[in-house]
Amino acid sequence: MFRFTSFLRTGLPAIAFGVGLLTADPPSAMVRSQVQVPGALHSGVFGQDRFLNLPPGFQISLFAKLSGARFLAIAPNGDVLVSQPGSGRITLLRPDPVGGVPAQFAFATGLNNAQGIVFQTIGSTTYLYVSEAHQVSRYVYLPGDTKAHDRQVVVTGLPDGGNHPLKNIAFDSDGKLYVAIASSCNVCTSDTTSSPQRAAIYVYNGDGSGARLFAQGLRNAEGLAFLPGTRQLFVVMNNRDDLPYPVKDASGNYGKLMASYVDNHPPDLFTSVRDGGNYGWPFCNSNPDNGLDRMPFDPDYDVNRDSHVNCGGMDLPDKGIQAHSAPLGLSLLQGTTFATPYRNGAVLGLHGSWDRSTPTGYKVTWYSLSGGRPGAATDLVTGWLDDVSHSVWGRPVTAVADAAGSLLISDDSAGAVYRLTYAPTAVSAASNYALLAPESLASIYGDGLAGQTVSADSAQWPTSLGGVSVTVQDSQGTSRPAPLAYVSSNQVNVQIPAGTATGSATLTVQGPGSIVKQGVVTIAAAAPGLFENAATGVRVVIPSNIQTPVSVYDCSNGAVPCVPIPIALGIDTPVYLSLFGTGIRGLSSLSKVQMTIGGITAPVAYAGPQGTWPGLDQVNVALPVSLRGAGLVDAVLTVDGRSSNAVQIAIQ
């Protein structure tokens, strides 16, 4: 199985096309997708249609309904265990072999806020470890068990109560057990002198012996995960609330509690954790004002305004997350069979804010991992939060890959476990429609597609590259070879052949060793759309006809999406924009192309191919003077009566 998506989607104008864009990175496009709900589960929150936003090529379904579903663990035989701290239970879900609703079993009951659940084999015995608010226990596990048995309490005396009683656990490659003990408060110093210390991580032998402090200064480390086969620990951390302005500057706001500052300070964290490290809480707070990587510290106003604790001696966290996103679950996908472009990364559940002017979080996010540090973030699932009304119908907790290569996602608000699966579909990254037009571009993702990585060395793309060929058989039964731009073991970039008939078509990849992989795509005569952030502009000075460039987007620091730059719109100096997208070639008349910006029709000066690159299309429009002061507005392309996605520009 493999999937297809248009591959040219970038924060740069489409003219920047080149080999550097032809990578197997996850796509940034999102598609609004209905949650598939089995009839037996069609009630409560899911008594009405629900929609989530997914990357192209994915589909999502409701796997099970389970109140208060928090952390997940996949048993050696494929069963799924779910912790439910609020009801003191761990429920076992046994997938139906024919895809029906899984059977549910009360695996363990009567627990004290049980949250973390981890399988670990020691010698010849497999255990399920469970972290409760006051202790860690383990149960002997045998394949097929539906009831916990042979319980042993291995860690006792953990501090219960306070703001954060739930505990989280993980094992390293040497079989050492790590237990995160969260703070009892928002900000206080007593947690740094308690025994055991709070806002800290302790390490134990598998039998609970040999306890010692591993790291501190971690206010509420929820998700813990080790890079497979290593002792490199990663955590996600919820940071403090209600942070007073900590800087003595000309603003005069020192010590004041301001929503505009609290909304973004301090960031939540995603970081590797070293043995003996101290990550700042409660004395030092990461400052995200100059970016979210390796942020400097500010002394905490409430407990360290005189800097009696040296923030310069603290460990800088690797990565900040938008303040109040509330990251909970953390899974590393290396060694799993999840979708290929995502395997060298981590997936986080952002539970969502309760104390921010504009809500944030409520999504599942993927981070690349490189050199042992988190890299760029890409949304994987969004839509539980309505960005306009700010209404919320679900709150994701964690996501784990199962043996079948799907991602299971828990939601303690909707009482659900979802299944996110890779599906062979064709989606234009320009418009997010499940359509590809003849001469448009697509990426095929999979495994073992090519034995080497090769790029075409000119615009005249060959139909065989690196031992790989692709054919498209259209709805009329005609097969055509597809020009290839790039091949690698997990991605092939192609152009849909000219002349491909509309309707359902089959793409066949002939790879090394006569490997053949097939998938179905949908072909349309035109798939109008615009590339998000792909626009350039010029200002024409009359009467001298001098043209000066106009910036449309700021794509610095890898921002996705890029930030629209307000365009100064004068009365006597027209501004023309070039917007790039797909589906507008082969037109006999400009009358078939319309562009509305902010609801106002913009005159179209050109519509056709962009430069010499096949499949990259361009529309040039003049910005109507009546849009002066409009601010953020939507630009929408219409071709032959079919409207595209909207992209935003800013006009001042």
For the segment 418-446, the average pLDDT, to the nearest whole number, is 67
DSSP string, 105-156: EEEE-S-SS---EEEEEETTEEEEEEE-SS-EEEEEE-TT--S--SEEEEE-
The pair of structure tokens assigned to 140 is 């002997």
d(CA 259, CA 480): 59
d(CA 224, CA 464): 45
The pair of structure tokens assigned to 241 is 């609330």
d(CA 261, CA 323): 10
Residue 5: predicted pLDDT: 35
Residue 1: predicted pLDDT: 31
For the segment 89-108, the average pLDDT, to the nearest whole number, is 94
Residue 575: predicted pLDDT: 92
Q: What pairs with residue 281 in β-bridges?
A: none
What are φ and ψ of residue 158, in 5° steps? -75, 140
- Note whether 218 and 227 are within 8 A (CB): no
Digit-coded pLDDT (tens) for 507-544: 888 887 766 777 677 787 776 778 777 888 998 876 55
- Note whether 493 and 482 are within 8 A (CB): no
d(CA 164, CA 517): 50
Digit-coded pLDDT (tens) for 403-431: 888 999 999 999 999 999 875 455 554 55
Amino acid at 272: S
d(CA 643, CA 428): 14
DSSP string, 56-86: TTEEEEEEEE-TT---EEE-TTS-EEEEEGG
Residues with Cβ within 8 Å of residue 363, at least 6 apart in sequence: 350, 379, 380, 381, 382, 383, 384, 385, 396
Q: How distant, in Å, are the alpha carbons of 120, 383, 564 from that of 647?
A: 48, 18, 10
Digit-coded pLDDT (tens) for 541-581: 765 567 889 999 887 655 556 889 999 987 778 899 998 87
Kindly compute the dihedral angle of the four CA atoms of residues 32, 37, 43, 49, in this order, to the nearest 10 degrees: 20
Report how far Cα 594 is from the mean position of its chain's Cα atoms. Answer: 34
d(CA 75, CA 89): 17
Digit-coded pLDDT (tens) for 342-356: 889 999 999 999 989
Predicted model pTM: 0.72
Percentage of the chain beyond pLDDT 90 is 64
Digit-coded pLDDT (tens) for 207-248: 999 999 999 999 999 999 999 888 999 999 999 999 999 999
Sign of the torsion formed by the C-alpha atoms of 175, 181, 182 and 183? negative
Q: What pairs with residue 269 in β-bridges?
A: 237, 320
Provide the 3-class DSSP secondary structure of residue 227. coil
Least confident span in 77-91, 244-258, 341-355, 427-441: 427-441
Ramachandran sector of residue 311 (left: φ over 0; alpha: ψ -120 to 50; beta: rest): alpha
Residue 99: predicted pLDDT: 77
Q: How confident is the model at residue 615 (pLDDT cuts 50, 70, 90)?
A: low
Closest CA to 576 of 552, 557, 612: 552
Least confident span in 111-120, 175-184, 507-516: 507-516
Mode of pairing for the β-strands spanning 631-639 and 593-597: antiparallel
Report how far Cα 566 is from the mean position of its chain's Cα atoms. Answer: 28
Least confident span in 257-261, 329-333, 611-615, 633-637: 611-615
All domains in the chain, ordered by first residue: 3-8+438-523 (2.60.40), 118-405 (2.120.10.30), 529-651 (2.60.40)
d(CA 176, CA 120): 10
Cis peptide before 196 (omega within 30 of 0): yes
The terminus-to-terminus CA distance of the chain in angstroms comes to: 48
Residues with Cβ within 8 Å of residue 447, at least 6 apart in sequence: 340, 489, 490
Sign of the torsion formed by the C-alpha atoms of 569, 575, 581 and 584? positive
The pair of structure tokens assigned to 64 is 């099970």
Mode of pairing for the β-strands spanning 125-131 and 136-141: antiparallel
Return the ∠ at Cα 65 (arms to 59 and 67), rounded to 5°. Answer: 130
Residue 280: predicted pLDDT: 98
